[in-house]
Amino acid sequence: MPIGLLTRQGALTLKSGDKIAARSQLMQALNAGEAADEVWYWLAMAADTTDERHIYLNKLLETNPLHEEALMLLSQTANKNSDTSKVSKYNPPSSKPATYEYLVVPFQGKLPAGGSVAEVSTQLQSIINTHSAQGWEFFVINDVNIEVSPGCIGALLGAHISYVTYDQVIFRRLTGR
């Protein structure tokens, strides 16, 4: 997958020396669904600590277990670390890739008159927290187009098929397979 615009901006910002702004742009890229392995790589490059870098590199390896540079960076920092508790927790891929089950939850934010967008964010956060507490990992938010056919009377009166878009919050968790 080609590198996304937000990821590219974050990488350029990092190269200019502004780690804080770069991390912000890269987190936006991740939330926008840009190529996760590229985003995790640049977040690792923008990390302030070795532990933080390990977290991002391990996330990268979850999406791309054969990413050579991430594997090399983890092994280099592991060799420099005498404290083995801080060495990567990443295990090389087994012969079988990870298998997930998914949960798709419809989301339609409700904004009362005079309300703020923060209220909708709180509603979404509540859904994510509720399902996370049940063992589901937040994966992505996508919109789904739904075809709505008119009823019998509507069709007789000339109504046509319409389309409605709804947000779907998608969670995943590893299966035992």
3-state secondary structure the chain: CCCCHHHHHHHHHHHCCCHHHHHHHHHHHHHCCCCHHHHHHHHHHCCCCHHHHHHHHHHHHHHCCCCHHHHHHHHHHHHHCCCHHHCCCCCCCCCCCCCEEEEEEEECCCCCCCCCHHHHHHHHHHHHHHHHHCCCEEEEEEEEEEEECCCHHHHHCCCCCEEEEEEEEEEEEECCC
Q: Residue 139 corresponds to which tokens in the numbers above? A: 């994966």
Domain-ending residue, one of 86, 111, 129: 86
CB 6 within 8 Å of CB 28: yes
CATH assignment at residue 46: 1.25.40.10
What pLDDT score does 86 carry? 44
Query: 68 lies in which domain range?
Result: 5-86
10-residue mean pLDDT profile of the chain (177 residues): values are: 75 88 86 80 87 85 83 73 46 59 90 88 92 89 86 87 88 79
What pLDDT score does 74 carry? 81
> Is 52 part of any domain?
yes
> Is 91 part of any domain?
no
What pLDDT score does 125 carry? 92
> Is 69 part of any domain?
yes
Q: Work out how many domains the chain is built from and give that number.
A: 2
Q: Does one domain contain both 9 and 76?
A: yes
